[in-house]
Amino acid sequence: MTLKNKGEVLKISFSAFFADLGYQAAVGALPILLVVYFKAPVVIYGIVEALNYGGGSLISLLGGYMADKIGSKVIAVIGNALIIIVSFTGLSQNYVEAAILFVAGWWSRNFRTPARRAMLAEVTYEEERKEAYGILHSLDIAGAMLAVTYLTLSLYFNIWIGYVLLFTAVPLTISTLLLLIAKAGRKSTARKPKKTALFLVISTMFFGFSQYSFGFPILTAYDFSHKTYLATVTYGVFLGFSSLFGYIFGKIRLESYKGLAFLGYLLASIATLGFALLSSGGLIFIYLLSAIMGIAVASTETFEPTIMSKLSPEGLGSGMGALSFGRSIGLLIGNSLMGFLYQISYVYAYLFASIMSFIAFLIVIYKVREG
């Protein structure tokens, strides 16, 4: 590692690791809990995920604004501490209770995300940020992969999913403590993001249309295998490749705009098209496509905040909030439509998502050619 302030980078990044070690188990459990155990229609799951991301879009904007006003560390710690609400989904008795608890915890995650990204930008120099965001994403997703591992093993051994959800409170608490001791998070004195940042917000919105909750591939895997633990393996494959390539993208010399366009948006479009056309071939195809989708998401999570940190001086919280807002608006619409289309046919749902990701690719390519 060549980072000059690597201690603080690692505190913030390991906070992300423990956060995902907790709440990503809840993310993987949610479609199983709602659709398999509580017998909710898939369209209900789509609406719940739309509420997660749609309401979260406004929360992201609020979190970014508040980070600039009172300091990113305060907002990051408060938001991170409240994510623990998702753990109490394990006590829910029906899909309505489960949805309310999960949405509340997820909105707290959105509230802290812009502030945490701003903290990371604060402790790094501009030329270090691609590597720093790559490390953040890699550790973030490594925690998520371990979360899906213990979730999958629990399902295999028939441990009640509610116990798994309650356990997530432990790593979430550790995550908050790490943010609390990080030496970053002052108020921002920087100016507003440049107008050119708007293209990034728009492109990530279209990518959000396609970056459906990964619960949909989990449900697709369950439809073809009828085994809950084989279905959650899909998410583990996705996260494993996303973690690995987040680190790789942070290290290699690759121009951020082209990396985002070709290895992010275009690759995601291809992978999602594959879900539409190849899922009927069985789990081997679903797992392979999940790996490719993981690579694509690693690219977006590395290059999007890197670009925004340059367009928004010192990683301005409002800029990061706008980035999260754009993605979340896309996810609001995308997950709603995915749920309705999936109820008709999973093929239609994935075709829609593939087209939206391709539009995001075209937006970035246009920006690159425009200079």
| Residues near 5 by beta carbon (within 8 Å), at least 6 away in sequence | 123, 124
Q: Nearest to residue 22, comparing CAs of 128, 217, 157, 178? A: 178
pLDDT of residue 315: 46
d(CA 276, CA 210): 13
- Both tokens of residue 281? 């071939």
d(CA 36, CA 58): 30
Q: Which domains does the chain have, with CATH numbers?
A: 7-184+195-370 (1.20.1250.20)
Q: How confident is the model at residue 62 (pLDDT cuts 50, 70, 90)?
A: confident
The answer, yes or no, to whether residue 252 has pLDDT greater than 80, is: yes
Residues 276-316: tens digit of each pLDDT: 999 999 999 999 999 999 999 889 888 877 777 676 654 45
Q: How confident is the model at residue 254 (pLDDT cuts 50, 70, 90)?
A: confident
Cβ pair 206, 359 in contact under 8 A: yes
- Both tokens of residue 47? 């609406």
Question: What does the longest C-alpha to C-alpha distance in the chain come to?
Answer: 56
Q: How confident is the model at residue 212 (pLDDT cuts 50, 70, 90)?
A: low
Q: How far apart are the first and last CA of the chain?
A: 32
Question: How many other β-carbons are positioned within 10 Å of the β-carbon of residue 221?
Answer: 25
The mean per-residue pLDDT over the stretch 31-43 comes to: 92
Cβ pair 68, 317 in contact under 8 A: yes
The mean per-residue pLDDT over the stretch 333-362 comes to: 88
Least confident segment among 17-31, 40-54, 179-193: 179-193
Percent of the chain topping pLDDT 90: 49
| Alpha-helical runs (H) found in the chain | 6-31, 42-70, 72-82, 95-122, 129-156, 161-167, 169-181, 198-210, 215-225, 228-251, 256-258, 267-278, 283-311, 317-344, 346-370
d(CA 354, CA 335): 13
d(CA 241, CA 71): 34
- Both tokens of residue 310? 């340059």
- Alpha-carbon dihedral 129, 235, 206, 264, rounded to 10 degrees: 50
DSSP code of residue 35: I
Rg (CA), the chain: 19
- Both tokens of residue 21? 């070690």
Q: What are phi and psi of 182, to 5 degrees?
A: -70, 140
| Residues near 238 by beta carbon (within 8 Å), at least 6 away in sequence | 214, 217, 290, 291, 293, 294, 297
Please report, as a single letter, which amino acid is at residue 141.
I
d(CA 157, CA 205): 39
pLDDT of residue 203: 67
Q: CA geometry: angle at 307 spanning 302 and 313, to 5°?
A: 125
The model's pTM: 0.76
- Both tokens of residue 248? 């790789």
